[in-house]
């Protein structure tokens, strides 16, 4: 069979191959037949040899025909395999086309992703620049905060210097500060007497008309509390603190003074010859004397429980006093004040060695509580209620009539409101200066 030297790639080539093969086979058959004739001519009519030769040739022809059939079968099988291979090639070509399409899509996606990555990198650079700028701003703000804190500290120092003590001695300052904190302590619910500067309010008041008792009646008689001894007023003798008399057929009983422990709530009940400044001096010294005698130390050094107990004892008149109604050790009010200041022992500076001299302990207890609470929530112009913390705590708005900070309320709305309206407080000083 002739070999063209080229692979069969088309259906026409396969048919040509089959035709050539068939021709070759036919040629072989013709040659076989011609050979038989040739041998017949050569051998003539020699029947003995011709029969054998013919049989051999017939056998050869049969073998050749079998080989031809086998070759034809192989050729058919090869053609089937070729057809299957061509189908596989076609399938592979389709897969290759699909893969190429997928590759093209993937390349397109890769290009898009690269573009997106470029955009993200740009955004990242911008973000990093913004972060650097923000860090710079934070640093600047921290510097500003530090500066503001320094200014606040300076202002606070200036304020504290403005709130210097003008009346209380150094020992009285320490003691009274502890007393104020005991009466109104600061806790998780809000500020106390310390934060509101109640002690400064008391100190200023002692330097003012209050301290000099400028509006308080202080003339005789000076009747000691719960006194039963006879006394004389304007030449009239009284058998004791309780006086009974008859007028218009009616019997009257008058007590001088009332037997209740507290008497300092009004000026007409103040039964002492010395002024309020001296009254406080005696009272503070008396508390120190009682604290040392009863609990073994100055008031400011005691435990919170013992401090509370000292003030409770004070209210119940447990500390000693002489009940003389105003007798002063030292000869005069001024002399007494000089003796009493800074004294911590029970026997010094008080009449007859008593802890409170002639001052009824409950009288001082009442005035002490009254003044501490006033310092907690009075108008800041008086020296207490620092930054209006006391008003903030109790919900009092001072002189804010509803619109100082542009809240939009009228006085009538505040008066008829079914529930209280809490406003930001305004002090008298703010009100005089006008809206913020």
Q: What is the mean pLDDT of residues 133-158?
A: 65
Q: Which tens digits make up the pLDDT trace of 183-239? A: 999 999 999 999 999 999 999 999 999 999 887 777 766 666 655 666 666 666 655
> Encoding tokens for residue 141?
């703000």
pLDDT at 29 over 60: no
Predicted local confidence at residue 280, as pLDDT: 94
**CB burial of residue 183 (10 Å; 0-12, 13-18, 19+):** buried
pLDDT at 254 over 90: no
Q: Which tens digits make up the pLDDT trace of 151-187? A: 555 545 544 555 789 999 999 999 999 999 999 999 9
Q: 357: pLDDT confidence band, cut at 50, 70 and 90?
A: confident
pLDDT at 8 over 70: no
pLDDT at 290 over 70: yes
Q: Which contacts qualify for 58-66: CB closer than 8 Å, 24 or more apart?
A: 60/32, 61/29, 61/32, 64/28, 64/29, 64/32
pLDDT at 35 over 70: no
Domain residue extents for the chain: 11-135, 169-225+261-380, 397-436
Q: Which tens digits make up the pLDDT trace of 99-115? A: 888 888 878 887 887 78
E-strand ranges in 165-208 read none
pLDDT at 419 over 60: yes
Q: Which contacts qualify for 392-396: CB closer than 8 Å, 24 or more apart?
A: 392/190, 392/425, 393/190, 393/191, 395/420, 395/422, 396/425
What are the distances in angstroms from CA 26 to CA 2, 67, 381, 404?
15, 13, 139, 128
> Encoding tokens for residue 403?
């619109």
pLDDT at 145 over 70: no
Which of 17-21, 201-205, 342-346, 386-390 is least confident?
Answer: 342-346
pLDDT at 292 over 90: yes
The rounded mean pLDDT for the chain is: 75
Q: What is the mean pLDDT of residues 63-76?
A: 85
Q: What is the mean pLDDT of residues 269-293?
A: 89
* CA proximity to 39, closest of 22, 60, 25: 60
pLDDT: is 357 or 277 the higher one?
277
pLDDT at 2 over 50: no
Q: 352: pLDDT confidence band, cut at 50, 70 and 90?
A: very low
Predicted local confidence at residue 41, as pLDDT: 54
State the Cα–Cα distance between residues 429 and 380, nearest whole angstrom: 8
State the Cα–Cα distance between residues 171 and 341, nearest whole angstrom: 8
């Amino acid at each position: 069979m002739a070999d063209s030297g080229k692979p069969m790639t088309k259906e026409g080539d396969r048919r040509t191959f089959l035709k050539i093969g068939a021709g070759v086979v036919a040629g072989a058959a013709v040659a076989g037949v011609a050979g038989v004739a040739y041998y017949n001519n050569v051998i003539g009519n020699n029947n003995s040899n011709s029969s054998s030769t013919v049989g051999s040739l017939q056998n050869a022809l049969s073998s050749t025909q079998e080989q031809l059939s086998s070759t034809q079968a192989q050729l058919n099988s090869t053609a089937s395999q070729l057809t299957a291979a061509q189908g596989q090639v076609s399938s592979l070509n389709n897969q290759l086309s699909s893969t190429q399409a997928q590759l093209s899509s993937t390349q397109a996606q890769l290009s898009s992703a690269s573009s997106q990555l470029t955009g993200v990198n740009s955004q990242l650079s911008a973000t990093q620049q913004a972060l650097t700028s923000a860090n710079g701003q934070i640093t600047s703000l921290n510097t500003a905060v530090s500066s503001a804190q320094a200014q606040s500290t300076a202002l606070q120092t200036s304020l504290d210097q403005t709130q210097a003590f003008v009346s209380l001695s150094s020992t009285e300052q320490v003691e009274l500060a502890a007393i104020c904190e005991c009466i109104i302590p600061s806790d998780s619910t809000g500020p106390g007497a310390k934060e509101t500067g109640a002690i400064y309010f008391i100190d200023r008041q002692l330097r003012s008309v209050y301290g000099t008792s400028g509006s308080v009646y202080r003339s005789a008689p000076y009747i000691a509390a719960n006194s039963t001894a006879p006394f004389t007023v304007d030449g009239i003798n009284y058998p004791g603190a309780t006086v009974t008399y008859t007028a218009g057929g009616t019997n009257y009983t008058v007590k001088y003074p009332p037997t209740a422990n507290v008497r300092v709530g009004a000026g007409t009940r103040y039964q002492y010859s010395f002024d309020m400044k001296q009254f406080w001096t005696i009272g503070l010294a008396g508390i120190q004397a009682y604290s040392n005698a009863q609990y073994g130390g100055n008031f400011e050094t005691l435990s919170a429980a013992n401090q509370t107990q000292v003030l409770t004892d004070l209210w119940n008149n447990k500390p000693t006093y002489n009940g003389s109604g105003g007798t002063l050790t030292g000869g005069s009010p001024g002399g007494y004040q000089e003796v009493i200041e800074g004294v911590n022992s029970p026997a010094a500076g008080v009449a007859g060695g008593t802890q409170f001299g002639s001052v009824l302990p409950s009288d001082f207890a009442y005035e002490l509580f009254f003044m501490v609470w006033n310092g907690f929530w009075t108008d800041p112009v008086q020296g207490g209620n620092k930054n209006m913390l006391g008003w903030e705590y109790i919900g009092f708005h001072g002189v804010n009539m509803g619109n100082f900070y542009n809240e939009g309320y009228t006085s009538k709305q505040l008066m008829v409101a079914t529930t209280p309206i809490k406003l930001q407080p305004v002090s008298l000083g703010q009100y005089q200066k006008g809206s913020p």
